[in-house]
Amino acid sequence: MHRAIQRGRSRFGGQGGFTLFEVIMVLLILGIITYFATARLFTEDRISQVSEVDLVKNHLRYAQARTMNTELDWGILFESENKYFLFREDAVGVPVRLPGDESADGKMTLRSITVTNVINASPSRTVRFKSEQYGSPGNLTITVVTTGGDITVTKNTGFIP
């Protein structure tokens, strides 16, 4: 009996190949590797979105700090879904370079998120900080709606969580 089993699985003659257990183990290992690779791809995309939302928040805080340190109104104008820039009250349409901006036109470009709406903004798509109100946006809470999450600028205080 023992020789019959050995004869069937000899090195050069008979049938060779993989057992069902070996095939299942290889497929299981490939499945695990695929799971972790795809999970990593989707996680990096979400990290990029969160990072970009944080960048926009920091630029809003920067405009607010400029308002409190000068006696001018400063703000951020969301020109399109993926472009925005810093401005001051005496030159509303003229971009002022933001920290970290390396573009030729002085406008920041969003890559992972888009700005879909700016709620309670006056004028439209603008977050303006008022010097006479100590860097707050006034008596309205402004919400910047993005695909990566909403950014709120609290009325009367200018708090940006």
Query: Looking at residue 23, which CATH number applies to its domain?
Result: 3.55.40
Assigned domain for 158 exists: no
> How far is the C-alpha of 41 from the C-alpha of 36, rounded, in Å?
9
Q: Examine residue 10 and state whether it is found in any structural domain, yes or no.
A: no
pTM above 0.95, yes or no: no
Contact (Cβ atoms closer than 8 angstroms) between residue 152 and residue 161: yes
97 DSSP assignment: P
User: pLDDT tens per residue, the chain (161 residues)?
Assistant: 455 555 555 555 556 788 999 899 999 999 888 887 777 666 667 888 999 999 999 999 999 999 999 989 999 999 999 999 999 988 777 888 888 888 888 899 998 899 999 999 888 899 999 988 888 888 999 999 999 999 999 999 999 99
pLDDT of the residue at 64: 94
Within 10 Å of residue 153's Cβ, how many Cβ atoms? 29
Q: Please give the tally of structural domains in the chain.
A: 1
Is cis: bond before 99, omega within 30 of 0? Answer: no
The answer to whether residue 118 sits within a structural domain is yes
What contacts 24+ positions apart, CB below 8 Å, involve 122-128?
Answer: 125/77, 125/78, 125/79, 126/75, 126/76, 126/77, 126/78, 127/60, 127/63, 127/75, 127/76, 127/78, 127/153, 128/73, 128/74, 128/75, 128/89
Parent domain of 69: 18-153
Instruction: Say how far apart CA 70 and CA 153 lie, in whole Å.
Output: 20
CB atoms within 10 A of CB 61: 16
